[in-house]
Structure 1
């Protein structure tokens, strides 16, 4: 198993630099499985939805689903990623603000970690109003 950083994953997904894309494709083919950490996935989505690439939620969901279904990649916890993606996909804008994928991932991972240590998450606090659509999420 290997792990890659955000820039390597972006070159793979975007193929915007032919030389780097070829290197990444070769690496992935020869070094499977490839770990995509939560931080790398969150940074990747943040970059893809930013001003330069400006992908919308539907496009981001296609990208993340593609990574999940591609046997070359593994995640810290696929169930958490899937839950975060589903919550992100179904969330509506609140006061004109969309839910960020990173917030969905943080909330879902928080529930998983709490359960993993034998506890339960009573609340997830954020200043972001869109987060209140998530399980046990509250505004501070």
Structure 2
């Protein structure tokens, strides 16, 4: 039976904390581990705000974590979002929205956030 994981489980595993062995054991037992998109956002927020890690230090770890078949997530959206987040100086949530826009074939977004202007494939529309 599939189980969801919270951000703290992923963080313990990626940080190789003392609890990482326990986490690895549950991963080996489970056939399906479900990772919600918002959980990855929380993991990224924790790496950037609490640990003050640079993107190049944690993005490869997250991508590697998401790669096994037993990890069930919207991997296409998450990996594209991680690529955008890595490439541009924008917030992860903005990168995630751009990834979702690409999947849905939407090119425009209503926003006051000028960070969207950094990505050529996005047309930001400022409400007037």
Which category of TM-score, normalised to the shorter sequence, fits these structures?
0.7 to 0.9
Q: What is the TM-score when the length of structure 2 is the normalising length?
A: 0.81
Q: Secondary structure at the match of 1:102?
A: helix
Partner of 1:36: 35
Q: Secondary structure at the match of 2:96?
A: helix
> Where do 5+ consecutive residues of structure 1 fail to align?
92-97
Partner of 2:8: 7
Q: Does 1:55 align with 2:60?
A: no
Give the aligned length.
124
Partner of 2:62: 64
- Of 46, 69, 91, 1:100 maps to 91
Partner of 2:115: 130
Written as runs of structure 1 = structure 2, the 5 A alignment for 1:17-36 is 18=18, 20-36=19-35
RMSD: 2.0
Summarize deviations over 1:76-104 as a string: whole Å, max 9, x none: x221112112212221xxxxxx3112211
Summarize deviations over 1:22-76 as a string: whole Å, max 9, x none: 32111111013211110000110111111x311112113212221233344221x
Q: What is the TM-score when the length of structure 1 is the normalising length?
A: 0.75
Shift in Å, 1:139:
5.9
Assess if the C-alpha contact under 8 Å between 2:47 and 2:53 holds in 1: yes
> Where do 5+ consecutive residues of structure 2 fail to align?
none
Summarize deviations over 1:119-138 as a string: whole Å, max 9, x none: x4241233332222233241
Partner of 1:94: none
CA distance in 2, matches of 1:139, 1:11: 40
